[in-house]
Structure 1
Amino acid sequence: MTTLQRQRSAAPAAPRQSRLRRARRALRPARTLPGALVSLTLAGGLGASAAEVVSALLGHPLGWVPLNELAELAGRTSWPETSTTALALAGAGAAMLLLAVVPGRSRLVPVETTDPLIVIGITRTGLRRTLRAAAQQVPGVHRAHVRLRRRTIEVTVVTEAESSGSMLRQVGTAVGDRLAGVGTFGAGEVVVRLLGKGG
């Protein structure tokens, strides 16, 4: 197996990095479903508790929430006596709150634009497909596989056993040109691995 690493020429680092950071932050998905579940659970529980407290103060308790029993239980229970189930439920609730607040991992790769106020992204699957197509257009390449890493793009191509280092440069150039054409932010370096047809 042969490997070639090709570093893409970068624009000025500081503004590019800040634009990349802003684009990644904008493309991160909100956790809508966990947020909605936490919101509905909290709204329902707190709303029922508030209605129960107000109705008890007016002398006509609704009976939805056993406030007196809960107050007595809280008064006579200390932390060491708290059951494992209650602690697990409290931990699950805290995890749900954290899950609802922290945004998810983006499935989009930011694309450079001329306007810094516009944020555009391409799906990771779409980027892999377009880079694989670029690698497979090189004469002699039978198959290509693209893997997107955090700082590198790994391209593994399957060719005839007698393929040489010039094939690596051609694949690296084709993939690098396609990356430049798409204009992805933060693509890093392209690593090309060449396998013979038997490998």
Structure 2
Amino acid sequence: MKDFKTKELKNLKKLRAISIGFLMVVNFIIIGFFLYGFYEVYKFRNLKENFITYVFPTVASIQLVLALAFGPVILIIFRRFASVLREIEELNDDFTFHYQHYTDFIHKVFSTVPLYLISQKGLFIFRNFKTEFLPPNSIKYVKIKNINMGRFRRSLIDIYQNDGSKSRITYYTTYPRAAEFFHDNIHLINDNVRVENLFN
């Protein structure tokens, strides 16, 4: 179990670095494209002004716009990965085994960030801006259904809690194996939860 967990954590950290690195490369490619264009104009106009002085205000403005675009995305990636890594690292041996079974069941070739994690603590739902935690005894009823209207395809896992609130996990495809795994294994943390599977 330790070998699997160590490898999974290492792969997820690598995926996080690749994701953030890709956005940084895109940022620098865009800046490089504009620098090349400005340099061609600078040469064509035969300006006496220093090139850096000439181009800096415009490039700085472009970089600010790119930072506003990419910055929040990088922050989301970092925070979401951090939550997933922390909770996987804290899995005990039994639930590490179940998580390994999950990765095998969904036919995962490369490490990916799961939308949910069944843990000895309860159920974690990983979202872009927060991680939602549902204690085992708070889960009352689960309904899993597909929505298939042409190109609009969704698989929804609705989790109803004892306090009347509802949480939702959304997959942008139909019949995802991760939803099937959820159906078959949510009892690991709550034997009394009722699951209605509306897959058809």
Q: Which has the higher contact order (CA 8 A, sep 6+)?
A: 1
Give TM-score, length-normalised by structure 1: 0.33
Give TM-score, length-normalised by structure 2: 0.33
